[in-house]
Structure 1
Amino acid sequence: MSIPAVGDPAPRFTLPGMIVRDGVRTDGEYAIDSEIGRTVVLAFYPGDATPVCTAQLCSYQEELDEFGDLGAVVWGISPQALDSHEAFARGSSLTFPLLSDTAGSVIRDYGVNAPGIGLRRSVFVIGPDGIVRWRHVGLVGLRFPKAEVIREQIELLVG
């Protein structure tokens, strides 16, 4: 699949995910369709507890309240299983949902699969209307968009 362009409808999906809040893990199903009316930030990352992924997701964690104040939710997506996500979330104090795409179907639907490395570190901002409004797709995966850049994109959507 090709990478959805800005202005394209976001590929629809439902994935298992988990969230750790106040020390308690809660598992659930996360469907992009259930978020119509809200801005969704999808952060695709290659692996739990790796140095660059930890830096990326921790930077988004620091901005989470500001994203929330703008009516946006953040979901991390990677190919690891939920138990791996739980250890990562606990070790890095992450309080947003981490979704498990073990089959790689959503990674493929968003065109961010990369032979040999699994997936390209990528961020998509999906508008409240379900349309891709901004995207950053990494080539090799060492760089990621800063939280403030994503926040600016969300602010443009809320006006």
Structure 2
Amino acid sequence: MALQVGDKIPNFSAKDSNGNDFDSMSVVGKKSVVFYFYPKDNTPGCTAQACSFRDQYEDFKCLGAEVIGISSDSVNSHQKFVSQHKLPFILLSDNDKKIRTLFGVKPNLFGLLAGRVTYVVDKNGIIQLIFDSMLATNHIPRALEMIKKLV
């Protein structure tokens, strides 16, 4: 069953773009977090979304929030994506789709494309916003608006 607004973020772990182990409890319950699931590194929409989060990253940081991108791409793919676009935030490799399944992120376009969903979580680890849209750059203003409400 998919996570809903008001649910607590479950514990999960994954490899980050540096190949390090990431544990969700290192941020969840300590600060506000924007988790955004996206289909694929280096595709037009996903690159636009990542670069928009990059360009507004300081706004999120100033409000005490962390941004974390999640896709099923490999650690190696994430390393290249981060380097090429100078992404300052964490990307997690969900190559077995366990995190996507845990959150209940559904595929789009008749199951051909992994879903694009953003979750905004307050500092207590409770989901305050779920934004599901294939319009990549619409996620950033919606997430930032919710983070501002949480401060």
Superposed counterparts of 1:118-157, under 5 Å? 118-138=113-133, 141-157=134-150
Any unmatched runs of 5+ in structure 2? none
Higher percent of residues as strand:
1
Distance apart, 1:118 and its partner CA: 4.6
- Flag the 1:118–1:146 CA change in 2: closer, same or farther, 3 A: closer
2:62 maps to 1:69: yes
Superposed counterparts of 1:80-119, under 5 Å? 80-114=73-107, 116-119=111-114
Over the matched positions of the two proteins, sequence identity in percent amounts to: 33
Q: Return the TM-score normalized by structure 1.
A: 0.86
Q: Distance in 2 between matches of 1:143 and 1:150?
A: 12
2:32 maps to 1:28: no
Runs of 4+ in 1 over 4 A off after TM superposition: none
Q: Distance in 2 between matches of 1:128 and 1:38?
A: 4
Q: Which residue of 1 aligns with 2:11?
A: 12
Question: Could you tell me whether the CA contact under 8 Å between 1:43 and 1:75 is conserved in 2?
Answer: yes
Q: Return the TM-score normalized by structure 2.
A: 0.91
Q: Secondary structure at the match of 1:107?
A: helix
Q: In the comparison of the two structures, how many residue pairs are matched?
A: 148
